[in-house]
Structure 1
Amino acid sequence: MDNRIEARHRLAKLPQAQRTAWLDIAEEEFRARGFEAASLNRILVRAKISKGQAYYYFADKAELYRAVIARAFDALSGLFAFEPSEAGTAAAYWQQIASLFENVSAVLGQNDRLADLGRGIYREAKAQAAIADLIDRLHDRLAGLIERGQRLGAVRSDLPLDLLTGMAFAALREADRWFALNAADLDHQVRLGLNQRIVTLFAAMLAPCPAMPSGSSQ
């Protein structure tokens, strides 16, 4: 097994209070200084962790950052815990998707800690590289939502699933990046209105394509 994976398992098995204390200190450092400028040594001193002990639980600074972001993602995971396939209709599917967008926007608007971490991800390419596997998981989750939408007739099926998912995920990440970097300067009602229009944009991109009139160019 990869050393990083083994270290992640060991970190997960730590008593929750100890793991939380370590990650809280690391999170404060990353929020204050960003990924690259953050000092692993400063984190270890504050957490009273020796370097040998630290490397047993996380291979390097990137792995510690990944653990902090994974915890933040877990805080949002409940918002994604719904089954659009249970909606029964295409309209209900899109209503649930709209609620998902709205709930995520509301949580980030009310939680400065999560919002700060989100901004940090988009400000540094190395921060994104450190959590590449977590981003891949979000991509896979989106693929599942799209596939279930196709079964309901809510999402177009005239394109390969991987292509459709890739296009939608790229658009989703750009919308998320823009909100992460700009939402703090916007009034709540403005954010809500923008959020609703983005949902409309996604629905227009992913909804089944109407039949083209006879003789139309391809």
Structure 2
Amino acid sequence: MNEIRLTDRKRLAIITAAAAQFRANGFEATSMDKIALEAGVSKRTVYNHFPSKEELFTETVVQLFERSASLLELPYRSDAGLREQLTELVRLKMRSLADQDFLDLARVAISEAIHAPERALPIFARLNEREEGVTAWIRAAQADGRLKPGDPAFAATMLQGQIKAFAFWPQVAMGAAPLAPAQQAPVIEAAVSMFLSYFGAEQ
């Protein structure tokens, strides 16, 4: 058991060190040697956990995303209003996108997508698989007859796309500051209203 815990600690140390290195230096300028040095482990240990720098980079981005996405585990409630629930869900989404570590690594990942698409595709494929919290909520609301039937992933993408247009892409592409609460409020209200006007079930 102690050996397992030590292995887990080393893996976490590697991912933490990798995040720092990739954020500071980008993908190309980061080496497994630097990551091993910062993590306080041998290079062999790094390769035992991650066979390549590409796999380590993917896992680092995904881990940071999952840390933020865990905020989105908001279960659907049939006894609460749709607007109330959606407003809270979108507010949580805003918080998850404001994680500076994730934004920094997302910037590196997008840069890689431009220069080496084959390297970045696995990252975005795994992120899409994990962006499930909003989709699950929409699926449950559809099953309850309160949202129109259809592809819940499509509806979730439409909703989250409106949020990302204000609270993700400007920060990643142009270094804009995260939205202050006063700036978030009208974005949340408009996104929820537009979503319900199109996807809300007819009364």
Normalising to structure 1: TM-score of the pair? 0.67
CA–CA distance in structure 2, aligned partners of residues 65 and 190 of structure 1: 35
Contact persistence 2:148–2:201 (CA under 8 A)? yes
Q: Deviations over 1:23-62 (max 9, x none)?
A: 2221111001222432223323444544443322111112
Identity of aligned residues (%): 18
In structure 2, relative to structure 1, the CA distance for the partners of 1:77 and 1:40 (3 Å cut) is same
The alpha carbon displacement at 1:19 in A equals 2.6
Shift of 1:117: 2.2
Select the residue among 71, 75, 90 that pairs with 1:79: 71
Q: Does 1:88 align with 2:76?
A: no
Q: State how 1:146-157 maps to structure 2 within 5 Å.
A: 146-157=138-149
Shift of 1:13: 6.2
Structure 1 200/40 Cα, relative in aligned 2: closer, same or farther at 3 Å? same
Structure 2 unpaired stretches of 5+? none
SS in structure 2 at match of 1:85: coil
Q: Does 1:124 align with 2:116?
A: no
Give the drift of 1:83. 0.3
Aligned to 1:112, which of 71, 84, 100?
Answer: 100
Instruction: Select which of 19, 22, 30 maps to 2:11.
Output: 19
SS at match of 1:35: coil
| TM-score in terms of structure 2 length | 0.71
**Equivalent residue runs for 1:163-178 within 5 Å:** 163-165=154-156, 176-178=168-170
| Structure 1 unaligned blocks of 5 or more | 1-11, 212-218
In structure 1, C-alpha distance between the alignment counterparts of 2:90 and 2:164, rounded to whole Å: 16
Q: Over aligned residues, Cα RMSD in angstroms? A: 3.5
Aligned to 2:60: 68
Structure 1 stretch 15-24 or stretch 25-34: which is displaced more? 15-24
What is the aligned length? Answer: 195
1:191/1:44 CA distance change after superposition, 3 Å? same
